[in-house]
């Protein structure tokens, strides 16, 4: 691991894994409420979401931000 990636929580995490963890944590409905995009709200699936997120940088950035928020929230809950 290089020094530039040492503190990056997204390093080594695939988009598919990230999305699966978000769906497990929030569910499709919760994910769609937080990020209002069609692939989360209408007939959601991992495959269609991955296809959309790989082609749409702004949506991927929002999903990555939500993932980081989820990690932070989980870390806070674990410290109680």
Interval 55-75: pLDDT, tens: 999 999 999 999 999 999 988
Asked if residue 62 belongs to a domain, the reply is yes
Asked if residue 18 belongs to a domain, the reply is yes
pTM of the model as a whole: 0.85
Asked if residue 1 belongs to a domain, the reply is no
Asked if residue 50 belongs to a domain, the reply is yes
In order of 14, 72, 74, 75, the CA distances from 79 in angstroms are: 26, 11, 9, 6
End-to-end CA distance of the chain: 31
Interval 10-45: pLDDT, tens: 888 999 999 999 999 999 999 999 999 999 999 999
Asked if residue 38 belongs to a domain, the reply is yes
Asked if residue 4 belongs to a domain, the reply is no
Asked if residue 68 belongs to a domain, the reply is yes
Segments forming the whole domain that contains residue 65 = 13-78
CA distance 29 to 9: 25
CATH number at residue 60: 1.10.720.30
What value does the CA radius of gyration of the chain take, rounded to a whole number of Å? 13
**Residues sharing a CB contact under 8 Å with residue 72, sequence separation 6 or more, in sequence order:** none
Q: How many domains does the chain contain in total? A: 1
CA distance 17 to 23: 10
């Amino acid at each position: 691991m290089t020094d530039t990636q040492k503190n990056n929580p997204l390093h080594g995490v695939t988009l598919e894994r990230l999305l699966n963890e978000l769906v497990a944590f929030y569910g499709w409905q919760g994910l769609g409420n937080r990020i209002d995009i069609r692939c989360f709200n209408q007939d959601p699936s991992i495959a269609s979401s991955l296809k959309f997120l790989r082609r749409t940088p702004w949506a991927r950035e929002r999903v990555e931000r939500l993932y980081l928020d989820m990690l932070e929230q989980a870390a806070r809950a674990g410290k109680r």
